[in-house]
Structure 1
Amino acid sequence: MPPIPSLRPSPKQATPRRVVPVPAARAIVDCAVYVDGHRLPGRYTHAAALDEVRERGEGFVWVGLHAPDERQMNSVAEVFGLHELMVEDAVHAHQRPKLEIFDDVLFLVLRTVNYVEHESISTAHEIVETGEIMIFVGRDFVVTVRHGDHSGLSGVRAAMDAQPQRLALGPTTVMHAIADHVVDTYLAVTDCVERDVDQLEEDVFSPHSNVAIEQIYLLKREIVELRKSVAPLAAPLQRLGQDSNIGVPKEIRRYMRDVQDHHIIVAERVSEFDEVLSTLVEAALAKVAVQQNTDMRKISAWVAIAAVPTMVAGIYGMNFEHMPELQWTYGYPAVVGGVVAVCAGLFVTFRRNNWL
């Protein structure tokens, strides 16, 4: 009987899965052309928007993308002439805040933070979540790349659309608006985190309260993550506010110095939180040590009390024939009474010394 042919294809016959490239338009959240600070009506692709600006010889393009893949980012990079190292950073994310200059393009990386609402610090599992915003600023374009669901810029764009006099200053005003928005978010998050730190501090120093040290460690870990997002931004903001050789107009540098001042406030708050939590860890550990000493004293006191009847029972359990009071009628109650009296005396003594 001939063998039944298999319906399952052999490895040689299996056809490879075809990866369908997703167009860059799927990653573009918004694309607009601005001339004299006003947004031109109509919808543009990123390539058509740049062509429009360069044909006019004035204005700039603002393209916003959310979590593009490598193909999508390369498509945008080819149109705007972005360096491949910029593209790599924008796709893979997880970058420290930094400012780099590639030819005539400024590349600014910002870390965004978001406060995760929770009923109580004792039940929280996450307090701060982070994301990223990359900003590419050229002579006639701004490209923003976002990573993270909480890092939306629709509110920033709407606010800027309502202020054409600021947009007329050029693409760098968009960079300032985004940096200002991110740092303002830092301030809001630190206000919320401060409430958690205050609550935890109150719980630790309240009498008869049991605070799990794990919760202090959780908050300290979140503060460390917040510090890693905030602290490295100091150098880029300082350079944007003071360096006149990077192509940022004088008026924008003034605004960036204001952002820098707010950032300093945030950095000081985060450092203060870190110091307070370090103190709380030490206080909680000391509180645990004191509680353990108290427990050991109580255990030792009860062991001392229990040792008296144990010793007497051990002596009279040796079954010697000639032992005192064995033939005495009141021997048993006298021994029991003596044991009770000694134990009661020990109990009163330990109680007066706060061991019980």
Structure 2
Amino acid sequence: MPSLPPRPSLPSLHSLRPSNRGQAAGPKVPVPTARAIVDCAVYVDGHRLPGKYTHSAAIAEVRKRGEGFVWLGLHAPDEGQMDGVAQCYGLHELMVEDAVHAHQRPKLERYDDVLFLVLRTISYVEHESVTTANEIVESGEIMVFLGRDFVITVRHGEHSGLSGVRQTLENNPEQLALGPSAVLHAVADHVVDEYLEVTGSIERDVDVMEEEVFSPHHHVPIENIYLLKREVVELRRSVTPLSTPLNQLAQSSENPVPKAVRRYLRDVQDHHTLVAERVAEFDEVLSSLVDAALARVTMQQNMDMRKISAWVAIAALPTMVAGIYGMNFDNMPELHWKYGYYIVVAVVAVACVGLFATFRKNDWL
């Protein structure tokens, strides 16, 4: 049987498409880990060693000495930068994922010998008036990785800087000599102290709103109360869930936090309880203000309806008389009387004035 000639090959679909050269995005250029590092230092016996260290050189120095610890501070690292840190410090991939993507609830987790603590930070946004503000609180996050010879702080948000905390600890070598857990306590204490400052500012806003709502001749749009309540809800979501992690750190003897630091954490826990109670109180007060504002709106609507009903009743009288005398019957009373028109107008006017006086006496007008 003779062989068939080869079938001509069809052109590739890719070759028929227009060229996209110059339009396709190139491979993503990795950003060095150093770009995300705010500060990296080695501490031995509570004192900072001189010189600058990379994240890898710092942990190598500590493990070569066999003493001290590394405090590495990062700001909003991406996945590639965090992977570089995780390889040097042996961090679990789930912790790395949480640190990169953020938006976590306050929590405490343990992966092997590393504790992972998530804290929500809160900043008060200054404004001229609580009745005209669009935002009152701004939130961020701080993650703390606590290991045997290192502590890594990862923060998201512009208001949650830790340079002041680091400076305070460096001025107190005895506290810093307690190890990485001292940094954990200092960060938690700093965050809870910010909670106290923010709740103090919000308390003034709640007091102002309360005065505005109960002022006799001042109308507060209910949207303003809802805005303040929304900000308090955001504060509650950041503050309240932290009670469980703080309790685990302060009470449990199974975590790597030494007993000396747990005593300090109990003080932080007490301050946090105070903040949580104040936030719950704000929520209750604002709920009562919403009810009061709604009651005020309802009362105003009732007053408006009474006024409308009174004016309708006054206008109905002349309308009724005009309707009766506009029926064009020949044998209507007083239809051809000379003074009939004037008498009817006078009677209608007197009746309308009487109704007006009655409604005004009863506070309908």
Instruction: Report TM bin, short chain.
Output: over 0.9
What is the CA–CA distance in structure 1 between the aligned matches of 2:21 and 2:293, rounded to whole Å?
Answer: 65
1:326 and 2:335 aligned: yes
1:250 and 2:259 aligned: yes
2:30 alignment partner in structure 1: 21
Gaps of 5+ in 1: 1-7
1:140 alignment partner in structure 2: 149
What aligned pairs does 1:75-94 form with structure 2 within 5 A after superposition? 75-94=84-103
What is the CA–CA distance in structure 1 between the aligned matches of 2:34 and 2:23, rounded to whole Å?
Answer: 32
One-letter identity of the residue aligned with 1:151: S
What is the CA–CA distance in structure 2 between the aligned matches of 1:207 and 1:16, rounded to whole Å?
Answer: 63
CA shift for structure 1 position 136: 0.3
CA shift for structure 1 position 324: 2.1
Deviations 1:55-112 (A, max 9, x none): 1111111000000000000000110000001000000101110111111111110000
What aligned pairs does 1:63-74 form with structure 2 within 5 A after superposition? 63-74=72-83
1:165 and 2:158 aligned: no
1:239 alignment partner in structure 2: 248
What aligned pairs does 1:293-312 form with structure 2 within 5 A after superposition? 293-312=302-321
One-letter identity of the residue aligned with 2:190: H
Q: 2:352 aligns with which of 343, 346, 350?
A: 343
1:156 and 2:184 aligned: no
2:188 alignment partner in structure 1: 179
Deviations 1:299-355 (A, max 9, x none): 000000000111111111222222222222221211111111000000111111111
Gaps of 5+ in 2: 1-16
CA shift for structure 1 position 209: 1.8
What is the CA–CA distance in structure 2 between the aligned matches of 1:18 and 1:99, rounded to whole Å?
Answer: 36
1:4 alignment partner in structure 2: none
One-letter identity of the residue aligned with 2:135: E
Deviations 1:32-67 (A, max 9, x none): 111111111111100001111111111111000000
1:226 and 2:235 aligned: yes
Deviates more, 1:167-176 or 1:210-219: 210-219
Deviates more, 1:83-92 or 1:113-122: 113-122
Deviations 1:110-129 (A, max 9, x none): 00011111111111111111
3-state SS of 1:61 partner? strand
1:352 alignment partner in structure 2: 361
One-letter identity of the residue aligned with 1:270: V
What is the CA–CA distance in structure 2 between the aligned matches of 1:346 and 1:103, rounded to whole Å?
Answer: 86
Deviations 1:253-307 (A, max 9, x none): 0000000000000000000011111111111111111111111001000000000
Kindly tell me the number of residue pairs found equivalent between the two proteins. 349
CA shift for structure 1 position 215: 1.1
CA shift for structure 1 position 210: 1.1
CA shift for structure 1 position 13: 8.2
What is the CA–CA distance in structure 1 between the aligned matches of 2:23 and 2:139, rounded to whole Å?
Answer: 42
Deviations 1:156-203 (A, max 9, x none): 111111111110010000000000000000000000111111111111
Q: 2:118 aligns with which of 93, 102, 109?
A: 109
Q: 2:47 aligns with which of 38, 50, 58?
A: 38
What is the CA–CA distance in structure 2 between the aligned matches of 1:335 and 1:44, rounded to whole Å?
Answer: 103
Measured on the aligned residues, the alpha-carbon RMSD in Å equals 1.3
CA shift for structure 1 position 15: 5.1
Q: 1:206 aligns with which of 204, 207, 215?
A: 215
What is the CA–CA distance in structure 2 between the aligned matches of 1:237 and 1:276, rounded to whole Å?
Answer: 27
3-state SS of 2:30 partner? coil
Superposition TM-score, scaled by structure 2 size: 0.93
Superposition TM-score, scaled by structure 1 size: 0.96
1:288 alignment partner in structure 2: 297
3-state SS of 2:132 partner? coil
One-letter identity of the residue aligned with 1:248: V
One-letter identity of the residue aligned with 2:30: P
Identity of aligned residues (%): 72
One-letter identity of the residue aligned with 1:303: V
CA shift for structure 1 position 9: 6.3
What is the CA–CA distance in structure 1 between the aligned matches of 2:229 and 2:86, rounded to whole Å?
Answer: 39
One-letter identity of the residue aligned with 2:209: L
1:47 and 2:63 aligned: no
Question: Residues 295 and 72 (structure 1 numbering): CA distance in 2 closer, same or farther, change over 3 Å?
Answer: same
What is the CA–CA distance in structure 1 between the aligned matches of 2:349 and 2:146, rounded to whole Å?
Answer: 88
1:5 alignment partner in structure 2: none
